[in-house]
Structure 1
């Protein structure tokens, strides 16, 4: 892998802006990064007063990068001069390539005023920039030189052709919609934040309906999958020959906790023994869950109390907690699922999601259900049996629950089960 010229110099590093990895250690592919040289930047990382100061350098030549790093170091050692330095002119590069790099920096809050900064995950930044780069790849495939072609040349007709082709090739509507959202955000950044005089080619672009008819995991299918969770024949072999062991010792309890709690995958496996709440009689009252999606969107700076979702008691949940020996661990800051596993909850969630698909196929289930559909099953059961799903706070609004989570066929069966009829029996004789 070709990288920018590098010689060891205190504070100087090379970072891949595609995956945020330092790559100057080796000319070979490093830590899984195999992105081309045009994704790389020199970066200054300096220690000061026990802290760490960083800056992405503009230079693409080694000597110029050293000079820029020393200027940055001088600025840090002269705080008065640093503060009083006149603001830099807001540059407006015109090539698509440079605009994408500028957008990537903005997403990472590089040179963004503190009160305008927004916390974003590395995964979100990586995916968003990746979707925008797909447009760049499409243009290059069709003969455009994106390092020279200006952002003003990419008009509505070109973008329209790109999305026509993308829609035909996309395996899912969700992927198509992700591309729409990313490019909408890219053009909004250029026009609103940077003041480019552009016509947004995606201003009226509409998202495709992803799930007009939500599906759930029916009881029998869930039992089949649970009974199929064994270490035998747990190796999944991909077409390229790669093998993955889909069994984990905590997999059964993890699937059950997701099913009995109604929380999202990462939220469910992040529940701890200290989240179990008992009533005055010492029995399980409810379990506290955290709405991580709400937290990321509305409480990223942790300035407000966390949004708690009280997970209601059920006999199935109590049985699971008993098997997890909750009485001997009550109050401990310890995960219910895989407490001793050296793995992040996000990575564990992905692992479990893949395993669910593997064991679903192993159980001979043809329905395209995934681990996330257990949440739809739970919320549908709560609604049909109690009518209180909105009040529990699993979603921000009732419309989200109605449109994306409640399985309408199950609602219809519940209505029938409650003895619904339009007319009294005696009235039928009058018709």
Structure 2
């Protein structure tokens, strides 16, 4: 009988197996270069007789076998005895087996061994994959925003920093060994080392708490979530709005010369040609950043040939509910006020009416929604600081200003347009009582 052969540089995972001595062979013959430069021929030994494999008296019991590891589980192996007489046939069959194995893995979630030690860093990597829908069955996938995923990632990195500072190796630390002491390290790191505000502290704690909630369920850990008892710190709600004079002054200083800022040794320019239009859209629509940037001309609806309102998808609620469960989410309705109509006409409403073009930055070939959103936020903060008002206003103050005027005009019915679930939430976070009495009967912000 012709003996089966296996080269020293074989196909990965392919072996020769002897059913007589129960031994796997990774080659049948190879050459080894000695220190003096001479080359000798080497053969593996039989598992029973210890003689060379070529002298085995039972070559008919030799079989080609393919062995594969389950991803991330080096000790777990699946093997398949191949019906091949030659090495080339064995390679062909091994490849077919590998493809079949990969196809099964894509439809089957690997059972997790509850006796296996779950290391913190490994679990964090898997959690980030989960948030990115990697390895998640289609019916469980959630379209999370990049902002949310990046926030979770930053929070986990901060938690790891706190552990490292206290001489704890995140790669050797087990998830079920995290306790109140480690939560305390994180608590101090956020408040003392980083000096974060209470709001930021709450957000970071909530993100890491979410990771442990997932890990406990995923790995079937019999532990209490160590972040469960963390109390949220009090957050002072700021309802500051921008005044008409401040807004006018802000637009007046928008220029490349005033946009220069230094971040360490890096020189940047916060000026963008669309900042003025973006700020005005934010003020006169009350939209969130993404809603402003995603506005299109065909969202504007007319009544009796007059632009009357804008229908905007409620992106925040749609994402919370998830694809397939958000079909009935009510859109936000933005009334086209006198001041907003003036702005839309200036931006080209008559020329673009009904088109699918974006209102702000129509050409997106060299930029993205995220980039425009970030530039609006950073640009507003940068230029507002130059006004030296002793206040620290952010882009969202424009939304608060709009909703304050709108609430006054509609006598408490603002939620029907802004999509807030209750007047209490609206009153607490957005309404600035200082300008309620100055609002006009027909909404026109700053008499623009």
The answer, yes or no, to whether TM exceeds 0.5 is: yes
Match of 1:58 among 69, 72, 79: 72
Q: For the structure 1 residues 360 and 93, does the alpha-carbon distance in structure 2 shift closer, same or farther, using more than 3 Å as the test?
A: same
What pairs with 1:158-177 in structure 2 (closer than 5 Å)?
158-168=182-192, 169-177=194-202
Gap regions ≥5 residues in structure 1? 1-55, 61-69, 419-431
What pairs with 1:233-244 in structure 2 (closer than 5 Å)?
233-244=257-268
How far 1:80 sits from its partner (Å)?
8.3
Tell me what 1:390 maps to. Answer: 415
Q: What is the rounded CA distance, in whole Å, between the counterparts of 2:183 and 2:249 in structure 1?
A: 46
Q: What is the rounded CA distance, in whole Å, between the counterparts of 1:160 and 1:86 in structure 2?
A: 35
Which secondary structure state, in structure 2, belongs to the residue aligned with residue 237 of structure 1? strand
Q: What is the rounded CA distance, in whole Å, between the counterparts of 2:94 and 2:393 in structure 1?
A: 56
Tell me what 2:349 maps to. Answer: 326
CA RMSD of aligned residues (A): 3.1
Bigger drift between 90-99 and 298-307 goes to 298-307
Matched, 1:215 2:240: yes
Superposed CA deviations along residues 257-299 of structure 1, whole A, max 9, x for unmatched, are 110000001211211111111111x122112222221121124
Tell me what 1:225 maps to. Answer: 250
How far 1:255 sits from its partner (Å)?
0.8
Q: What is the rounded CA distance, in whole Å, between the counterparts of 1:284 and 1:84 in structure 2?
A: 51
TM-score normalised according to structure 1 size: 0.73
Match of 1:248 among 259, 267, 272: 272
How far 1:335 sits from its partner (Å)?
0.9
How far 1:93 sits from its partner (Å)?
3.4
Q: For the structure 1 residues 170 and 108, does the alpha-carbon distance in structure 2 shift closer, same or farther, using more than 3 Å as the test?
A: same
Which secondary structure state, in structure 1, belongs to the residue aligned with residue 384 of structure 2? helix
Which secondary structure state, in structure 2, belongs to the residue aligned with residue 209 of structure 1? coil
Match of 1:378 among 378, 397, 402: 402
TM-score normalised according to structure 2 size: 0.70
How far 1:85 sits from its partner (Å)?
7.6
Q: For the structure 1 residues 166 and 314, does the alpha-carbon distance in structure 2 shift closer, same or farther, using more than 3 Å as the test?
A: same
State whether residues 100 and 132 of structure 1, in contact with CA within 8 Å, keep that contact through their aligned partners in structure 2: yes
Q: For the structure 1 residues 410 and 74, does the alpha-carbon distance in structure 2 shift closer, same or farther, using more than 3 Å as the test?
A: farther
Q: For the structure 1 residues 191 and 372, does the alpha-carbon distance in structure 2 shift closer, same or farther, using more than 3 Å as the test?
A: same
Q: What is the rounded CA distance, in whole Å, between the counterparts of 2:248 and 2:109 in structure 1?
A: 67
Which secondary structure state, in structure 2, belongs to the residue aligned with residue 120 of structure 1? coil
Tell me what 1:187 maps to. Answer: 212
State whether residues 277 and 285 of structure 1, in contact with CA within 8 Å, keep that contact through their aligned partners in structure 2: yes
Match of 2:323 among 297, 300, 310: 300
Which secondary structure state, in structure 1, belongs to the residue aligned with residue 415 of structure 2? coil
Which secondary structure state, in structure 2, belongs to the residue aligned with residue 238 of structure 1? strand
